[in-house]
Amino acid sequence: MKLPLTSLILAAALSVPAAAGAESAVGGSYRDARSDGSELPPYLQCVPFAREQSGIRIYGDAHTWWDQAEGRYQRGNTPRVGAVMAFQPHRNMQLGHVAMVSRVIDSRTVLLTHANWSPINGRRGQIERDVKAIDVSPANDWSQVRVWYDPLQALGKTPWPVAGFIYGDRAKGQKDNFSNARGTVIARREVQPVARPVAQAAAQPVSANPSRAFQQAFSGGFSAPRSAPRNQVASARRDVVADIIRRN
């Protein structure tokens, strides 16, 4: 039985393996799929690794970093050590990519430290440190770069578009909100002042001079009405003395 020519061509095409060394950067967020359609376990992505390495507290897919940084961090098109290179989505890298600049060699060459770019030993999510990236933009503005690709053991052939560099310096007037991984603001813990014991007022010394009421009771200054009997006068004096004692 003879097969149609188109069937033979299709069968031949399917039998040819993918070209070894074909550049296929992964970038922002990706999971391999098994042949049965199920996903492999998740692995290290570029975003949390870049955040941990650079200290830049931005969350979300890599392609959102550039816009999120506006007003929060300084941005530019000049590489600096510690800055994050923000890649734009391109071809199969649909979610972008972020990589930290670990060294500046010259105006066209830097070294990057990043994760989930090259598959190493057939595995995604690998960390690469101090790998070369070169600026291939016509204006030398770092808007296009070629990056070291481990399966080739050389720079990749693809010019990847770059939005720019995000620097670790806060934008003017911005302060750290102490956000956690979900963006929830963690309240600052205020130190409450320690209550100090209130010093008790010193006891006032008793006056050595007798009070006016005391003087009136015992100096004859107190005079009862003439019509009052003696027992009433004595009782009045006793009341005055008792009152003085209570007050003192």
User: pLDDT > 90: what percent of the chain?
Assistant: 50
Contacts of 84 (CB under 8 A, 6+ apart): 50, 54, 56, 65, 98, 99, 100, 101, 165, 166
- CATH T-level fold of 23-170: endopeptidase fold (from Nostoc punctiforme) (3.90.1720)
How far is 193 from 191, CA to CA, in rounded Å? 6
Q: Is the pLDDT of residue 168 over 70?
A: yes
Give the distance from CA 239 to its chain's centroid.
78
Residue spans of the domains in the chain: they are 23-170, 212-247
Contact of 167 with 74, CB cutoff 8 Å: yes
pLDDT (tens digit per residue) in 1-54: 444 544 434 443 333 333 333 466 656 544 444 445 544 456 899 999 999 999
Contact of 112 with 101, CB cutoff 8 Å: yes
Query: Residues for the chain: how many in total?
Result: 248
